[in-house]
Amino acid sequence: MSYREGFILKGEGKKALILIHGLTGGPFELRWIGGKFNQEGYDVYCPILAGHCTTLEDLKKTKWQDWLDSVRTLLKTIENDYESIYVAGLCVGGMLSLLLSKESEKVKKVAAWSPTLYLDGWSIPKAVKLLPLVLATPVKHFFYFKEKFPYGIKNEAVRKKVSSLLTKNAVAYDRFPGVTIKELLKLSKHLIKELPTITKPVIVLHSQYDDLSSVKSAYTIYEKVSSPEKKLLILKDSYHMITIDNERETVFRETLNFFEK
C-alpha cells in the first residue's frame, strides 16, 4: 500500500468497518488498527478524504461538507452489502463518524478517537484564540498553522518515523491552511448543534495529554449525544494520534469490545 492511497481489507464479508483519517492526515494513521479489525472478521474500508494526499492547494479548495461527502459516498456504495456497518475515525475523522452514523440504519455503532471540536491542546499557542478574527479576513488565504513537535505522538520511535515521512510530504501535510482551519471550526459548530440528534451507540477515546485538542472535546460529545449506550475512556500515555501511539492496543481492544458487546 502506498502512503498516499486508501485501503480495503476484506474479511468474512458479514460486517463492515469504515475508518476515517484525520485532517491533513491520511490512511497511514489507521492502517495498523484496520489490520487488527480485519483479523477479527471485519471488511475494512479506509477512503481518502477530499483534498488529502495530493497537494495543499487541493485541500484549500475543499469544505467540510466535501470531507463528509467522501465517506457518505462510500457508505451508500457498500450499505446494501452488509447487515451491520460500524464507523470509526481519528481527529476530524471521529467528528465525521458521528455525522455519518445518522446517514443509514445499517450503521450500528460509532467510535470517535481524539475528536477535535476545540483547538485547545497543550501545544497550541495561546494566540490561537485570535484565529476567528484572523480567519474572518482575506489573510485566511495566506495563513498556515505549521505542524510541529511532537507531531501528536508520544512514542519516540513512531514519532521519528512519521516526522521523517512528513518532511517528504509522504504521509500527510505538514501544515494546516487558514481556510482549512476555518472549515474545521465550521464543522465543529455544526456537529455540536447536531450532537443531541445522534442516537447510535458511541464510544469516545481521548488522551488526557492530547497536544492538539483537550479532553473538553471528548466530554462535550459524551455529554451531548442522545445515545442510550455510550462510553468515554480517557487515556494517559499518548498524545493526539492514539491509533499509532503507545496505547493503540487499548484503543483497538476497547473499541472492538464496544462494537461487539
pLDDT band at 174 (very low <50, low <70, confident <90, very high): confident
pTM greater than the 0.85 cutoff = yes
Q: Specify burial of residue 85 (Cβ count, 10 A radius: 0-12, 13-18, 19+).
A: buried
Give the percent of the chain with pLDDT over 90: 71
Give the H or E element holding residue 69. Answer: helix 64-78
Q: Say if residue 123's pLDDT is above 80.
A: no
Domains and their CATH numbers in the chain: 7-260 (3.40.50.1820)
- Residue 138 CA to residue 248 CA, distance in Å, equals 40
Q: Say if residue 173's pLDDT is above 90.
A: no
Task: State the average pLDDT for the chain.
Answer: 89
The residue-averaged pLDDT of 118-141 equals 66
Q: Which of 135-149, 229-243, 246-260 has the lowest mean pLDDT?
A: 135-149
pLDDT band at 111 (very low <50, low <70, confident <90, very high): very high
Name beta bridge partners: 87.
18, 110
Q: Specify burial of residue 184 (Cβ count, 10 A radius: 0-12, 13-18, 19+).
A: buried
Q: Which three cell numbers stand for residue 232?
A: 468515554
**Per-residue pLDDT tens for 177-204?**
888 988 999 999 999 999 999 999 999 9
C-alpha to C-alpha distances, 219 to 6, 205, 207, 232, nearest whole angstrom? 30, 10, 12, 8
pLDDT band at 2 (very low <50, low <70, confident <90, very high): very low
Q: Say if residue 165's pLDDT is above 70.
A: no
**Per-residue pLDDT tens for 43-90?**
999 999 999 988 889 999 999 999 999 999 999 999 999 999 999 999
pLDDT band at 135 (very low <50, low <70, confident <90, very high): low
Comparison of pLDDT for 24 and 198, the residue scoring more: 198
The residue-averaged pLDDT of 149-174 equals 76
Give the percent of the chain with pLDDT over 70: 87
The residue-averaged pLDDT of 139-163 equals 75
Look at residue 1 in the predicted model and tell me its pLDDT.
44
Look at residue 161 in the predicted model and tell me its pLDDT.
82
